[in-house]
Amino acid sequence: PAVVVVRAEAQPINPEIRKAEEKVVDTVLVPELSKPLTAYCRCWRSGTFPLCDGSHVKHNKATGDNVGPLLVKKQ
Ligand code: FES
């Protein structure tokens, strides 16, 4: 069967989580990493998915959403 992908470009992807915050960004600290910081996309709009490329800013402005990346930092 064919897979139909529907992209709702102008729709928020976060309808209810922590909406009082301007942008939801979470950080995970890991003691042993080869890179000091990696930002993973949670808006599904990044051109470099799974990495964040800042596209969430445009998405948030267009939709009123508040999504931001998951930051994985070396502790
Ligand atoms: Fe998607 Fe930054 S580009 S969270």
The residue that leads in pLDDT, 43 or 2, is: 43
pLDDT digit string, tens, across residues 7-41:
656 789 998 999 999 999 999 999 999 999 999 99
The architecture CATH gives domain 24-74: 3-Layer(aba) Sandwich (3.40)
Q: What is the pLDDT of residue 11?
A: 87
Q: How far is CA 75 from each of CA 28, 41, 42, 55, 57, rounded to the nearest angstrom?
A: 9, 20, 22, 26, 27
Q: What is the pLDDT of residue 25?
A: 95
- Segment 55-70 mean pLDDT: 96
Domain borders along the chain are: 24-74
How far away, in angstroms, is 1 Cα from ligand 1 center?
31
| ipTM (interface predicted TM) | 0.99
* Test site for ligand 1: of 14, 42, 58, most ligand atoms within 8 A of the Cβ: 42
Known catalytic residue at 19: no
CA distance 74 to 21: 25
Q: Which of 23, 58, 61, 73 is catalytic?
A: 23
